Amino acid sequence: MSTAAAKQQEPNDSQPLWREAELRAADAMGRLMEFWGFRRHMGRLWTILYLSPEPMTTAELSDTLQLSSSAVSLSLGELVRWGAVRKTWLPGERKDFYRAESNVWKLLRRVYERRELNLVREASDAFLDAQRFLDEARDQLGGRDRERVDYMRKRVSRLRALTKTGERLVRLLVAGRALNPADLQSAEEED
Amino acid sequence: MSTAAAKQQEPNDSQPLWREAELRAADAMGRLMEFWGFRRHMGRLWTILYLSPEPMTTAELSDTLQLSSSAVSLSLGELVRWGAVRKTWLPGERKDFYRAESNVWKLLRRVYERRELNLVREASDAFLDAQRFLDEARDQLGGRDRERVDYMRKRVSRLRALTKTGERLVRLLVAGRALNPADLQSAEEED
DNA sequence: ACGTCTGTTCAAGAAAATTTGAACAAACCG
DNA sequence: CGGTTTGTTCAAATTTTCTTGAACAGACGT
């Protein structure tokens, strides 16, 4: 009965007994996601879906988390774009239903592939740009200034090596291969 | 001459030739840091210091990046707390000088140890809490509702396993050991 | 075709964060 | 000491991000 009632938008006073547990888990995931650079609601919504044996509607979600329908629509749409949530339709129902993609590892790989890889590549390109500017400057300078530019060139190239290493690391992660930090450290030596 | 002049707060029009390169690199790192959840200025300041052969003063830094002295003080202080920048003093100088910690790997480890480890542990604890609430609820329910709670318990315990795995992963990273994603995936099975 | 039910988009309002100048404090010099 | 230089803290102001309600659009059943 309580299960069935939960399906309708039910008055705030008769929450299912497990609601508290649900919310705690959702909030924990929300904090993780927020820290990781996503909207906090994405983590919360995903968790509610992940904990539900049945696909849910936006109405149930906004009821559970006390969110406006537009907030749900926004974050849910983003989750769908990231492949973290799937739309499904139940026969005889007009509403959209949603279920969580439950393979978290797959999700992680996708995010790293689409987002982190980009990020690190852009940084790498920017360092390359910086190097070009330094090369230009070097040609016009001599003496102490040229020495200084040479120092900077070494440092920038080390930064670039770092991002390249990061790129490699993310690629390995995305490919599901083993990571060996020893490789990573090799890019660094003291001064 | 230009080198010496840069030491004083110099009028905006006579920038050293390498300034552009410096700024590009600094901005790239700023974006990385911001994405990683730090103040963007932390990345920029660190980079300027990292590219300088000599320790620098706050005045030089605020001049280079066009930041107010309070902004420099704030972000620089945070960098010092993270061990990413060191104060040094030059004989005969009253000002504080700063130099960048140049072992980036060491920095990464420190951040993961202090920040990410905490984060993941808190999430883990929250999931544990959620489990307790579910156990309580389970005792008071029967039939479909109990089944539903049991489903949720399985799922929450999978989330908890996930954060535990994350914790292990961060520990390995911090210890500089090899990471094997095969271990990580083991925590997951479809439904 | 019309009215109803769903979901999305948008712009205004609210909330949160960053930024800054000024006040304060501390160290140093003569 | 008194004055100067340097660094930090604070609260106000700005910017940015989030949130929401209302308008819009699409699909469906009658």
Percent of chain A clearing pLDDT 70 (strictly above): 86
Number of residues that this document lists for chain B: 191
CA B148 to C1' D13 (Å) is 52
Residues A76 and A157 both lie in one domain: no
**For residue A1, what pLDDT is reported?**
40
A121 contact to strand D (CB, 7 A limit): no
Residues of A in contact with B141 (CB under 8 A): 17
For A54, A70, B145, B146, B147, the CA distances from B138, given in Å and listed in that order, are 19, 34, 8, 6, 9
Residues A26 and A90 both lie in one domain: yes
Task: Please give chain B's pLDDT, 191 residues, in tens.
Answer: 443 333 333 444 578 889 999 999 999 999 999 999 999 999 999 999 999 999 999 999 999 999 999 999 999 999 999 999 999 998 888 899 999 999 998 999 999 999 999 999 999 999 999 999 999 999 999 899 999 999 999 999 999 999 999 999 889 888 877 666 665 555 454 55
In a domain, A190, yes or no: no
**For residue A5, what pLDDT is reported?**
37
Sign of the Cα pseudo-torsion (B76, B79, B80, B81, in order): positive
Which of A102, A122, A145 finishes a domain? A102
Residues A117 and A59 both lie in one domain: no
B117, two tokens:
């480890």
By C-alpha distance, the chain B residue nearest A50 is B155
Residues B93 and B161 both lie in one domain: no
Q: Closest to A155 (Cβ–Cβ): which among B51, B129, B177?
A: B51
Which of A102, A134, A150 finishes a domain? A102
| Residues having Cβ less than 7 A from any atom in strand C | A 57-59, 69-70, 73-74, 76-77, 94-96; B 39-41, 67-71, 74, 94
DSSP state of A90: -
**For residue A176, what pLDDT is reported?**
78
**Residue A166 CB contacts under 8 Å (≥ 6 apart), including other chains:** A120
- The whole domain housing B22 covers 2-101
Rounded to 5 degrees, φ, ψ at B41 are -65, -25
| A41, A67 Cβ separation under 8 angstroms | yes
Q: How far apart are CA A139 and CA A134, in angstroms?
A: 9
Q: Can you give the pTM of this predicted structure?
A: 0.88
Helix axes B40-50, B19-35, angle to 10 degrees: 140
For residue A168, pLDDT beyond 70: yes
Q: Closest to B37 (Cβ–Cβ): which among A35, A173, A179?
A: A35
Residues A119 and A97 both lie in one domain: no
Q: Which nucleotides of D are covered by protein (CB under 7 A)?
A: 5-10, 18-22, 28-29
Residues B52 and B68 both lie in one domain: yes
Helix (H) or strand (E) holding B37: none
| A45, A59 Cβ separation under 8 angstroms | no
Helix (H, G, I), strand (E, B) or coil at A83: coil
**For residue A93, what pLDDT is reported?**
85
| A84, A50 Cβ separation under 8 angstroms | no
CA B85 to C1' C20 (Å) is 24
- Domain with residue B59: its CATH number is 1.10.10.10
In a domain, A47, yes or no: yes
Which of B45, B80, B101 finishes a domain? B101
Gyration radius (Cα) of chain A, Å:
24
- B15 versus A186: the higher-pLDDT residue is B15
